[in-house]
Amino acid sequence: MVDPSLPFVPILKLDAVTRQFSPDAPPAVQAVSLAMQPGDLLSLLGPSGCGKTTLLRLIAGFEQPQTGTIAIAEQLVAGAGQWVPPEKRGVGMVFQDYALFPHLTVSQNIGFGLTQKPNTLIQRRVKETMALVGLEHLGDRYPHQISGGQQQRVALARALAPHPFLVLLDEPLSNLDVQVRLRLRQELREILKAAGTSAVLVTHDQEEALSIADRVAVMRQGSLEQMGTPETLYRAPTSRFVAEFVTQANFLPAQRFGSDWKTDLGVIASDRVLASHPQLDLPSLASVDLMLRQEDLLLHTDLPESHACSATVYDRQFLGREYRYGVQLASGYRLAVRTTVDLCLPIHTAVQVSIAGVAILRAFPSVEGRAKRE
Ligand X SMILES: Nc1ncnc2c1ncn2[C@@H]1O[C@H](COP(=O)(O)OP(=O)(O)OP(=O)(O)O)[C@@H](O)[C@H]1O
Pairing status of strand 273-275 against strand 361-365: parallel
What is d(CA 12, CA 246) in angstroms, rounded to the nearest whole number? 24
Find the shortest distance in angstroms from Cβ 349 to ligand X: 39
Find the shortest distance in angstroms from Cβ 169 to ligand X: 12
- Residue 138 makes contact with ligand X by CB under 6 A: no
- Residue 198 makes contact with ligand X by CB under 6 A: no
Nearest to 181 by CA among 208, 210, 157: 208
199: left (phi over 0), alpha (psi -120 to 50) or beta: beta
- Residue 220 makes contact with ligand X by CB under 6 A: no
Distance of CA 360 to the CA centre of its chain: 23
- Stretch in the footprint of Mg ion (CB under 5 A) among 49-57, 87-95, 124-132, 318-326: 49-57
What, of Mg ion, ligand X, none, does residue 153 touch, CB below 5 to 8 Å by kind? Answer: none
Nearest to 179 by CA among 158, 148, 204, 136: 148
Pairing status of strand 198-203 against strand 166-170: parallel
Site for ligand X (CB under 6 A): which residue of 1, 9, 21, 75?
A: 21
Shorter beta-carbon distance to Mg ion: residue 53 or 197: 53
- Residue 53 makes contact with Mg ion by CB under 5 A: yes
Taken as a whole, the chain contains a residue count of: 374
Site for ligand X (CB under 6 A): which residue of 14, 17, 36, 52?
A: 52
Shorter beta-carbon distance to Mg ion: residue 53 or 152: 53
- Stretch in the footprint of Mg ion (CB under 5 A) among 31-39, 50-58, 278-286, 337-345: 50-58
Shorter beta-carbon distance to Mg ion: residue 21 or 83: 21
- Residue 28 makes contact with ligand X by CB under 6 A: yes
Shorter beta-carbon distance to ligand X: residue 246 or 336: 246
Find the shortest distance in angstroms from Cβ 362 to ligand X: 26
What is d(CA 126, CA 163) in angstroms, rounded to the nearest whole number? 11
Find the shortest distance in angstroms from Cβ 30 to ligand X: 11
Shorter beta-carbon distance to ligand X: residue 54 or 238: 54
Find the shortest distance in angstroms from Cβ 53 to Mg ion: 3
- Residue 204 makes contact with ligand X by CB under 6 A: yes
Shorter beta-carbon distance to ligand X: residue 49 or 134: 49
Q: Are 53 and 21 in contact (CB under 8 A)?
A: no
Distances (CA, A) of 210 to 41, 180, 214, 215: 11, 18, 8, 8
Find the shortest distance in angstroms from Cβ 52 to Mg ion: 5
Nearest to 157 by CA among 132, 176, 182: 132
Q: Are 110 and 118 in contact (CB under 8 A)?
A: no
Q: Are 133 and 99 in contact (CB under 8 A)?
A: no
| DSSP helix/strand/coil, 57 | helix
Shorter beta-carbon distance to ligand X: residue 46 or 164: 46
User: In what order do the strands lie in the sheet containing 309-318?
Assistant: 297-300, 350-355, 309-318, 322-329, 334-340
Which positions touch ligand X (CB under 6 A)? 21, 28, 46, 48-54, 204
Which positions touch Mg ion (CB under 5 A)? 53
